[in-house]
Structure 1
Amino acid sequence: MHILFVADPLESFQTYKDTTFAMMREAQRRGHSVAACEPRQISWKRGGKVVAHVRHIRLTGQTPQWFETTGEGLQELAGFDAIVMRKDPPFDSEYFYSTHLLEQAEREGARVFNKPRALRDHPEKLAILEFPQFIGPTLVTRSADDIRAFHAEHQDIILKPLDGMGGMGIFRVGADGRNLGSIIETLNRGGACSVMVQKFLPEIAQGDKRVLVIGGKPVPYCLARIPQGNEVRGNLAAGGKGVAQPLNDHDKAMAEAVGPVLMERGLLLAGIDVIGQCITEINVTSPTCFQEIFDQTGCDVASLFLDALEQAQAQP
């Protein structure tokens, strides 16, 4: 296959932990050709097809110069066998517009994974609303009064913006309510922005688990991201420690229930975040943790992903 990865600048990759790099490496190992572009390099003009300025690359197996460019230029997206959308959040207006350009490319014959419409339909914080049987007490609102009432009921709560990533903008407010008013003002901006509020789950001490689902099936190992020191967030970007571990029966059952639903909608890869017994988020833009799981367990997640990608691409 000729695979195009739509991603952040290649020069920004931290290859020792980057999941997109792991995908590219496995694709090249299997004999597939690899190309890359950034969303800003995609365009469309009446009378033509969706195109992008792409770089055809070869992975060198070296660092820091981990790739070399073997060719570049303007190319129709429909000319690739598969397009893998791996642009990191935030899911801002430009990300939104990119999904529309990719969807136009689909109409022209391109195969895009994850599907652009599915990316738009599953915002990572709000996707859990469809599965209330698996989530803890949760509120989504712009109302400061509603947030205060939720705090009065549950005492210990987590507040977070709907467009954050990597633990950005997450606050914990305990029973004393200290700084609740200031946090509400910061997050909801006078009622202009919606906020997600969840009951604090003390099981976070054992880790915020990333359960990967590929082709509708759970990967047998997850990565528990454990908060360090006084930090309440387990996100690796916020300093959490990643510990790979086998899926327990409960996490596997939740992933087996949610995974086929996501796959049917065109989400070939998703990352389900689990604290204790509860799903807290469903990540679909650029789920990570492939390399951490492989390094600690030997489970080759990138190979599982390429298996699923090859199978999905071959289907009519």
Structure 2
Amino acid sequence: MKIAILADRLELFNIKKDSTYAMMREAAARGHELHVFEQRHLLCEGGVVSAHAARVRLVDEDGAWFHREAAATQPLSAFDAVLMRKDPPFDMEYLYSTYLLEVAQRQGARVFNRPSGVREHNEKLAIIEFSRFCAPTLVSREPSRLRAFHAEHRDVIFKPLDGMGGAGIFRVREDGMNLGATIEMLTRDGAVTIMAQRYIPAISDGDKRILVIGGKPVPHALARIPQGGEVRGNLAAGGRGEARPLTERDREIADALGPTLAARGLLLVGLDVIGAHLTEINVTSPTCFREIMQQTGFDVAGMFIDALEAAASASAHGGLA
């Protein structure tokens, strides 16, 4: 296959941890041709959506892990698969990229995850559809409602709807210390909608990332365990990652959500679960491949490329994109 990957700058990858690198390594080992471009290289001219993409060959050399060839502008429909692996934040440029990729899809490009699926599943708000798996949750920008939610549940997590890596997450305990300041800051004095969730004590045992590929869960989750008194388990916030077999509850959640999300063109999803509760549905650029592979030996990248090959083939023959 000829694969195009929309990602951040390759020079910024930490290949010891990067899931996109794991995908690229597996695809290259199977003989697939890799082309890489950034958001700034995406364009539409004459009604055709293209990318100024460079072919990349993976190498094992001191100080380098890839060789980039001269870039060329090519229609995205010329590729067998286009991977959307740009990290958040999901800002206006990200939104514009999904629109362009959706046009490219109508022109014959096979894009994974499907642009409309990425756009329609805000990683915080998407859990509302599956509220039976969630802790008590409120989405609002009204300070009075947020205060009432805290008064009812007494120990609450407040977070922005557009954050990543644990940024902007605050815990307000029963004493209500800094409740007003937290609400004012996150809502910008009532101008911005945020999420409040009842605090889940099981966070001390880890915030689990469950990867779902082609509607099926990887059999191991990565529990991201808070360190040093932190309330956040995110690896970006200093959490320690520990791979574990899925629990019965983990599988129940993954089996319930997986087929539904896959049918919406979401080939790869990262479900965040604390204890028995679903807290987020990550669709933009889910990670944790490398940690699970290194600790368990399970070939997550192989499972993903298997699913990508099958999905690209089905799309080429009139199946779901």
TM-score of the superposition, structure 2-length normalised?
Answer: 0.97
Residue type at the aligned position of 1:77: L
1:72 aligned partner = 71
Q: Provide the C-alpha distance between the structure 2 equivalents of 1:295 and 1:303, rounded to a whole number of angstroms.
A: 13
1:125-204 mapped onto 2 (5 Å cutoff): 125-204=124-203
Q: Provide the C-alpha distance between the structure 1 equivalents of 2:138 and 2:246, rounded to a whole number of angstroms.
A: 28
Task: Report how far residue 129 of structure 1 moved.
Answer: 0.3
Q: What RMSD, in angstroms, separates the aligned Cα atoms of the two structures?
A: 0.7
Q: Secondary structure at the match of 1:131?
A: helix
Q: Secondary structure at the match of 2:35?
A: strand
1:13 aligned partner = 13
1:4 aligned partner = 4
Label 1:133 to 1:63 Cα distance change in 2 as closer, same or farther (>3 A).
Answer: farther
Q: Provide the C-alpha distance between the structure 1 equivalents of 2:118 and 2:262, rounded to a whole number of angstroms.
A: 12
Q: Secondary structure at the match of 2:61?
A: coil
Q: Provide the C-alpha distance between the structure 2 equivalents of 1:41 and 1:190, rounded to a whole number of angstroms.
A: 38
Residue type at the aligned position of 1:131: F
Q: Secondary structure at the match of 1:224?
A: strand
Q: Secondary structure at the match of 1:177?
A: coil
Q: Provide the C-alpha distance between the structure 2 equivalents of 1:48 and 1:179, rounded to a whole number of angstroms.
A: 52
Mapped contact 1:211–1:274 kept (Cα < 8 A) = yes
2:230 aligned partner = 231
Structure 2 stretches of 5 or more lacking a match?
Answer: none
Mapped contact 1:8–1:38 kept (Cα < 8 A) = yes
1:212 aligned partner = 211
1:303 aligned partner = 302
Q: Secondary structure at the match of 2:123?
A: coil
Mapped contact 1:213–1:271 kept (Cα < 8 A) = yes
Please list the CA deviations of residues 110-135 of structure 1 after superposition, one character each: whole Å capped at 9, or x if unmatched: 00000000001101000000001100
2:54 aligned partner = 55
Label 1:63 to 1:210 Cα distance change in 2 as closer, same or farther (>3 A).
Answer: farther
Structure 1 stretches of 5 or more lacking a match?
Answer: none
Q: Secondary structure at the match of 1:234?
A: coil
Q: Provide the C-alpha distance between the structure 2 equivalents of 1:231 and 1:242, rounded to a whole number of angstroms.
A: 14
Task: Report how far residue 9 of structure 1 moved.
Answer: 0.7
Q: Provide the C-alpha distance between the structure 2 equivalents of 1:214 and 1:119, rounded to a whole number of angstroms.
A: 15
Mapped contact 1:17–1:291 kept (Cα < 8 A) = yes
Q: Provide the C-alpha distance between the structure 2 equivalents of 1:223 and 1:28, rounded to a whole number of angstroms.
A: 25
Task: Report how far residue 222 of structure 1 moved.
Answer: 0.4
Write out the 4+ residue segments of structure 1 that deviate beyond 3 Å after TM superposition: none
1:274-313 mapped onto 2 (5 Å cutoff): 274-313=273-312
Please list the CA deviations of residues 116-172 of structure 1 after superposition, one character each: whole Å capped at 9, or x if unmatched: 000011010000000011000000000000110000000000000000000000000
- How many pairs were matched up? 315
Q: Provide the C-alpha distance between the structure 1 equivalents of 2:63 and 2:15, rounded to a whole number of angstroms.
A: 9
Mapped contact 1:57–1:71 kept (Cα < 8 A) = no
Please list the CA deviations of residues 179-237 of structure 1 after superposition, one character each: whole Å capped at 9, or x if unmatched: 11111111000111111000000000000000000000000000000000110000000
Label 1:115 to 1:241 Cα distance change in 2 as closer, same or farther (>3 A).
Answer: same
TM-score of the superposition, structure 1-length normalised?
Answer: 0.99
Q: Provide the C-alpha distance between the structure 1 equivalents of 2:37 and 2:224, rounded to a whole number of angstroms.
A: 30
Q: Secondary structure at the match of 1:261?
A: helix
1:245-264 mapped onto 2 (5 Å cutoff): 245-264=244-263
Q: Provide the C-alpha distance between the structure 1 equivalents of 2:194 and 2:164, rounded to a whole number of angstroms.
A: 14
Task: Report how far residue 62 of structure 1 moved.
Answer: 3.3
Task: Report how far residue 63 of structure 1 moved.
Answer: 4.8
Q: Secondary structure at the match of 1:44?
A: strand
Q: Provide the C-alpha distance between the structure 2 equivalents of 1:300 and 1:63, rounded to a whole number of angstroms.
A: 26
1:95 aligned partner = 94
Q: How high is the sequence identity, in percent, across the aligned residues?
A: 59
Q: Secondary structure at the match of 2:108?
A: coil
Label 1:129 to 1:63 Cα distance change in 2 as closer, same or farther (>3 A).
Answer: farther
Label 1:63 to 1:151 Cα distance change in 2 as closer, same or farther (>3 A).
Answer: farther
Q: Provide the C-alpha distance between the structure 2 equivalents of 1:65 and 1:96, rounded to a whole number of angstroms.
A: 32
Task: Report how far residue 71 of structure 1 moved.
Answer: 3.2
